Chains A and B, each alone.
Chain A
């Protein structure tokens, strides 16, 4: 596929420096909810200046350029190995150019590889489909918010959370309480009900590919998503945990089947610096559409 490496480099640059419009609009609207002269309003004002400045300077919005997560949907016969090679090269160039921080550390030696390449980095999730287009999406997810993610196994005695949607609601709100301001709130939650421990977390991150205004086709989950945001915003944690009106900007919930013996709720917390972007390539490798 022609031009794949430069196209992926541009995807990384854009993802790191520019928030998608749906996220910016949600932040702008949330900022108006905070009290005049409050610490929360101060934080939201700086957040908005930062969004504008990063775009203008074409520089990383946040210095923690995060885990590099590619989600690729491609036709049968698509050369995944060639994609992986191009993605790795693009990531190394993006690091040298300063679009990405040197952010990949050998877990045994503690040595930073210096180019963001190593086992597990970048992470690429491939899915096949019957169309002809290649849909490439990228999420950059920083460590602060990744660290406050949580996985619960229901029933949870401490939280009086049973194996039903009310139990799911209780553990999600507990995760918000535990996170406080540490995940750079106001945040966005991606949640998966069910699955095994590994597929649950992956699916929770895939929820973060949905736009802010996307409505869940499953009515029970759509209602829960709405309720979580309203309830979390009554907790008073606020931007950065300074206290205030906006604790969550959004919540997206998916479900996978589970074993009769298991009932996991996997929660990925995304910070306000919600870096996701994507494009569609036609069969000659040309970008025909930006997705967000």
Chain B
């Protein structure tokens, strides 16, 4: 058990990828390190345990990635998804640093594998962890333990007590009992607040009761709140979160990757009244899955139903829950507790509006559209007419929140008055809003966490040892 009476060089609040990269780097630089993770050991690792890859720049093919993915293309992708809500200096620095991570990660025990089945579109840009994010987290914890990082599980950081822009002491709750510990420098890597439903309710009202939190239930945002209450500059829209369409039967927390559903582009999607509400075929799914979370959040009771026939069923990855299945659309509607007459009418209207068009091609925008509907379906529109019929209920699934603390390129936290904190650093989701103000790029969260985790660890160790 770590000695809580001593003053550590570096205290890391959090236990996911960014926290571990900071802790390992600080320890490698000679600092004494205490890592404080609020989850029990079995659920350690924050949202990182549900991740699977990291987006990395590279000028030529390497052992893990194909072809090339250069700085400007990476930057363009980021600019596109954020709509400009990013900091070019920090973003480009992160992108450049991402090309040099593999050696360090491999030394820390992380293993890679070729891009997973069904994700071939990511094989060029994203390096996949062998066994996924929990395997990566396991490797980092093993390395951290070997190096002598001291680790407390079941321990929530409740307050960072600041004075003149520096953290003087840290309040924690170890298995529910309050204590105060001391460190020369602190790295805040404790993620967002999406698992704090009361906080979410401030912006979303009672709709949060119908939200699914895809990741860890331990991201309560206590550290984030503590910092923002003490004059740390915030970044990112507090009301915004990354929300995707999920199978509605997902558990409230920690359902991870298996609850996602890729059926929308090949389906007719209706709300609880049996009405369509958005163009299901607007773009390829990787570019649209994130707006569907918001779309469903705006529907009555935050629920929608994806309906397809047996032609479409083999085209997407299975969700973990079995599809509702019936020989007629009406029967399917009854099984999903929808008004069968209304759903039949919607599907009939849709089928009639499908224009006889080009050859169906699920690999590209094929231009098969409807005509005369509101809204239209602009791609992959095919009559839903071949029994059996399949249905999935959908709900908004929250991945992370965008609100965070402002940092500079040394991962130092910036105060409201513009000054940099003397001994407080941040890495990971808690500061990713500096770079990713909106939208998402697959695997970019892990890139930000790794790059800034290492910078924060390095800088905190340097500061503490001087």
Q: Do A and B bind each other?
A: no
Q: Interface of A with B (CB < 8 Å)?
A: none
